[in-house]
């Protein structure tokens, strides 16, 4: 129950932050990516704030064996840069640039009734399903 409540609160704070910062608005994101046009640097400030929180959080997490809720810490153990990571990052970036959404803001925009988010989230779910099918076939062979 504690985990569910903590997850709900974290998701709610994240979603509200995305709405208040305008990051669930694809025009805002595309304005950030438009370096040759009317560039909007506000996303860079949001990213800098997120990175600062992340750096602090990971520094604390690396010193702990259990989370604040009492669960085992599960931090990444590899720093390897694989071709799968690079290809996945490129696919993410292209999708972000085309749609103006990434997964979190896409879900927030869907919840806010943004019609374009329906297409984005449906495509995202289809892509995740396709990945799972390919992974199962890859592991079976």
Q: Is the pLDDT of residue 121 over 90?
A: yes
Structure tokens at 44: 């860079």
Predicted confidence at residue 83, as pLDDT, reads 92
User: Which has the closest alpha carbon to 109: 40, 15, 43, 38?
Assistant: 15
- Which distant-in-sequence residues (6+ apart) come within 8 Å of 69 by Cβ? 2, 3, 6
Quote the CA–CA distance of 79 and 128 in Å, as a whole number. Answer: 23
Residue written as token pair 């931090």:
75
Q: What is the dihedral angle through the alpha carbons of 63, 65, 67, 68, rounded to the nearest 10 degrees?
A: -70
Provide the pLDDT confidence category of residue 8 given band limits of 50, 70 and 90.
very high
65-74 pLDDT per residue, tens: 888 888 888 8
Does the pTM exceed 0.85? no
Quote the CA–CA distance of 53 and 46 in Å, as a whole number. Answer: 11
* CA-to-CA separations, 77 to 23, 55, 80, 85, 95, in angstroms, rounded: 30, 16, 9, 15, 27
Q: Is the pLDDT of residue 6 over 90?
A: no
Instruction: Show the CA angle centred on residue 85, arms to residues 12 and 80, nearest 5°.
Output: 105
Partners of 72 in the beta sheet?
66
Q: Is the pLDDT of residue 136 over 90?
A: yes
Q: Is the pLDDT of residue 138 over 80?
A: yes
Partners of 77 in the beta sheet?
none
Predicted confidence at residue 81, as pLDDT, reads 94
């Amino acid at each position: 129950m504690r985990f569910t409540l903590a997850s709900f609160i974290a998701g709610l704070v994240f979603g509200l932050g995305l709405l208040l910062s305008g990051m669930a608005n694809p025009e805002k994101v595309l304005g950030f990516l438009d370096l040759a046009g009317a560039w909007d640097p506000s996303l860079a400030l949001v990213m800098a704030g997120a990175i600062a929180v992340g750096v602090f959080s990971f520094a604390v997490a690396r010193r702990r064996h259990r989370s604040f809720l009492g669960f085992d810490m599960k931090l990444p153990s590899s720093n390897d840069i694989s071709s799968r990571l690079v290809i996945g990052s490129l696919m993410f970036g292209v999708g972000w640039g085309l749609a103006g959404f990434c997964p979190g803001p896409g879900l927030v925009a869907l919840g806010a009734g943004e019609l374009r988010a329906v297409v984005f989230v449906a495509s995202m779910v289809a892509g995740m399903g396709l990945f799972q099918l390919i992974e199962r076939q890859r592991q079976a062979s």
